[in-house]
Amino acid sequence: MVDYHTAQTISQTEIKRARPHTRREMIRHGERHHKLETILSWREARVDAAYTLALWAREGARWPLEALMEALCAPVFPLYAGRKAHPLGWPMLPEVAEAETLASALAARAPLKGDVLFDHLRAPKAAASVSCDYESAFPHGLDGPRLEIRRDAAPQRTRWQFAERRVLTGRMPEPTQEVLA
């Protein structure tokens, strides 16, 4: 889905001078001093895709995986993909499992039952593309891994500038006879 956006703001120079604490303060300052500017942008979102996500707990993690699973099963706020106009079309189906590698965790995911829509969401096939953080200490177990550079890390959300992030992308390994049985 492609969205066309307009947003009002004030110049960076004016922000430095006014030092607003909130967006509301910033807009009010711009209105009072006739300094509002309009930003025009296009944004794209994938709204017809299905993803399987894997998280692993680092030592000293703030929340255990079980708590995250419970929160995903009963979210306090509506879940959406990037913008509130893009709510998730299917429910989250979290599981907690132990595995040696990312690939083995994804391959061991239990097949979903009872709904024709979910038939294609079973454990990833050998051709499935999988990406993970390059700096992760968790072994990936992927075939043909390659390094990709993405500009989607947000080091400073106040300025809405994005930095590079290194991502490892590969394919799921061919299933063994044990997995097929």
pLDDT band at 57 (very low <50, low <70, confident <90, very high): confident
- Give the residues across from 163 on adjacent strands: 153
Cα–Cα distance measured from residue 168 to residue 146, given in angstroms and rounded to the nearest whole number: 6
Average pLDDT over residues 76-94: 84
pLDDT exceeds 70 at position 162: yes
Tell me the C-alpha to C-alpha distance, in Å, between residue 128 and each of 18, 107, 112, 132: 50, 11, 17, 13
pLDDT exceeds 90 at position 161: no
pLDDT the model gives residue 48: 72
37-46, 70-79, 130-139: which is most confident: 70-79
Give the other-Cβ count within 10 Å of 87's Cβ.
Answer: 11
pLDDT exceeds 70 at position 27: yes
Least confident of 24-28, 35-39, 134-138: 134-138
Average pLDDT over residues 75-92: 84
Give percent above pLDDT 70 in the chain: 84
Q: What is the pLDDT of residues 86-107, one digit of tens each?
A: 888 878 888 898 888 888 888 8
Average pLDDT over residues 165-180: 76
pLDDT exceeds 80 at position 77: yes
